[in-house]
Every structure is written in structure tokens, then in C-alpha cells.
Chain A
Amino acid sequence: MSAGGKQYKAIGDDNWKRTDKVNAELFTLTYGALVVQLIKDYEDYGQVNKQLDKMGYNIGTRLIEDFLARTGMGRCQTFAETAEVISKVAFKTFLNISPTVTFPPPTAPSNPSLPTPSEFTLIFDENPLAEFAELPRDAREGGLWFSNVLAGVIRGALEMIQMQVEARFVSDVLRGDETTELHVRLVRLLEEEQPENDE
């Protein structure tokens, strides 16, 4: 897998070099303003999380086309390969970060129809979306996941390539945890069907 890893890293770096760049502070400030406005509008942190996830889903369904066109990669053979591609190529191409992939140890009653491993965790050591943000106390207690849009993006993108996954944050440095971790779990492989309605 390490040879494939290096290759993915090279593809990711190459894509990043070739794309147009935008000012990082502008991007961070825009996302921060978006989250704050959502909080003011909905006033319920659970709803804000849901909306961020929906927005991410809509972004993801479109982003996957852009990604496949840019990289021209073929089908991944295993879900583990998918995880590697997401972390080394996709995140590198779009956000210039390389989260680490870890696979949790397999639990005994795993679904036999799913490829193993069927879940992975991305660990972010830097998060450009939340560069200067400090959560106020009631946001922390209310359970806000500041970067929840990323979970939606992964869910939307993978759904377009016939994988239904569940993506959620399990810890976030903004909330006072030690690391920022995003957990992705494969629910089932989809047959060719009509795409889900945009919400």
C-alpha cells in the first residue's frame, strides 16, 4: 500500500500545483461568517450541524465530478483504497492538507456483504476552515461541529460513486478535544439508481 500511497501523494501534489489559488484568509473568513450566520438564523446548534451537512452534501455531489475529471483515476478496488485516495489526493487537491487515515480494529459482527475494512477515520492536524475561530461556551456545550460541511462533502461525493456512507465528526480541537477526527463508515454499496434529490 505504501507504493500506492506515494503515488497518490504525488498525484495530489501535482493537482494542487495546477489549480488556481484563492487567498486563505478570505476563505477562512467566508466560512466563519457562514457558520455564524447559520447560528444566528437557526439558533439551534443541532439544526446548524444538519444544515452544514446538507450544504456539504450538495457540494460533494458536484465536487466528485470535478475531482474525477482532474485526476482521471479509475475505480478503487477496496474501501481502504478509497480512504487513501480521499486523504492523499482529494484533500490535498482542494484544501492542501493531508489528514492521516487510520482504520479501527475490525469488530466481530461485521456485515459479510461489505468489503472489509468498512470504516476509517481521518485525523486532521490542521483545519483551514477553522483557522482563527474560537467557539464561545454555549456553542461548545450545544454540540456544534464547526467543520461539519466536510462530513457532508464526503457523504455526497461517495454517494455519487455508488457508496452510501455515514460521515461524522467524533472530536474537534475547537471543542477542547485533543484532535480533530472525522469518522466515515460504509453503510452499503448502491446499485445504479436515480440520484437523490438535492435538498
Chain B
Amino acid sequence: MSFYLAIISPSDSPLLELPLSSSKPAPTSSAASNSAGSTFPSWSTFTSASGSDLGAPDGKVIGGNLGLVSAGGVAAAGGTGERQLMQMIAHMSLDGVEEMMEGTGSLYLRGVEKYNEWTVSAFIATSVKFVLLHDHKNDDGVRQFFLEVWELYVKASLNPFHTANTPIRNPVFEAKLRTAAKKFL
């Protein structure tokens, strides 16, 4: 099972991106449960995707200037190509997240969108959004994971050396995120 967590600031710039792989075995044995790289479907999603998927939604800034040129190389084996795809999926779903956010009052939005085999879930922590891409259903675990992430994020932002809404480059924070991921996902 593999995941991809993105923390997005209110101005839609990414504060943290973290690809993860879970230690728990997948409930269904469909995909091979190796590292994050190999579970990705080997066929390129771009050759078969409709034109609307490729176009960036209006008003969204795709973080990191990944561009569609580099995404075209996804058909080749894993590595950075997939990561950029996951980043793009996460950001594309922000529109859907915001729509759902206005509908419900709860903080945790599960299954905002499905994209091929990836489900996108989001958690709105007031101004900051946590977006998680996951391939298997695990609602309770994901929810608890989001709450953990929220706590860790609050503690990290209380650091006097961290300026608000800048990318978080704190190795301690990342290490704690990974242990939380192993615990809940």
C-alpha cells in the first residue's frame, strides 16, 4: 500500500509532500505490495486519459512547475515521474475538496475523488489542508492519521523559527509523520 500526503497552505502552495509506503499488507492481493514505486500501474495514465484531465483546472497553481512534459515520461518505470503525478492529482482535487468543504461541516472529507485506482481524501484544518492519496479503503485509519498529522503540524508551527505558510523543512517533523503513518495506515 502506498500513500502520498500533501499539506497545502491557504494560498494553494504546497508546504510538505511525503510519499509513504505502509508496512501493513494490502487487504486485497491485487496490487503487489512492494515499495511505493512498483504498486503504481504500469500503463501510462496520460495516453488513455481524456483531454480534460490533462488541462489544469482554472485558477489552480500546480506546485513545482511540474509541467505536462515531464508527466509524459510516466510510462517509464517509477521514480520522480510518479511523484509528480501524485502531486498533480493532489492539487487537481483541491477544487473538489473546496466544493465538498462548503457542503459539509465536518473536518474530514473522505473519498473526495477517485482517480484510476487512487482515492483522494482530505482534512481541513481550518486554513491548511491535508490531502492524502491512497489506494485502499481504510477510513478509520486515515481519519486517525489525519488527526495525528494535525497535532504534529500544530506543534511544528509553534516553533519560533518557522515562518507561517512556508514549506516545512524539519527532519524531526518528517520522522514523526512517518512513524504516525506506520501506526495508522
Contacts and interface: CB of A to CB of B under 8 A. Distances in A.
A134 B173 CA distance: 10
B172 interface: yes
For the residues of A in contact with B, the DSSP-based class is helix
Residue from the set B155, B159, B160, B162 with the largest chain A CB neighbour count within 10 Å: B160
A32 interface: yes
Contacts, number: 29
Interface string B38-59: 0000000000000000000000
Contacts of B156: 134
B161 A29 contact: no
Name the interface size band of chain B. under 10
A35 interface: yes
Contact of B155 (A29, A132, A135, A136): A132
Interface in A10-66: 25, 28-29, 31-33, 35-36
Contacts of B158: 25, 28-29, 131-132
B11 interface: no
Contacts of B30: none
B103 to A, nearest CB: 34
A29 B159 CA distance: 8
A95 interface: no
Given A32-B160, A134-B161, 10 more contacts: A28-B158, A29-B160, A33-B160, A36-B161, A132-B158, A133-B159, A133-B160, A133-B161, A134-B162, A139-B161
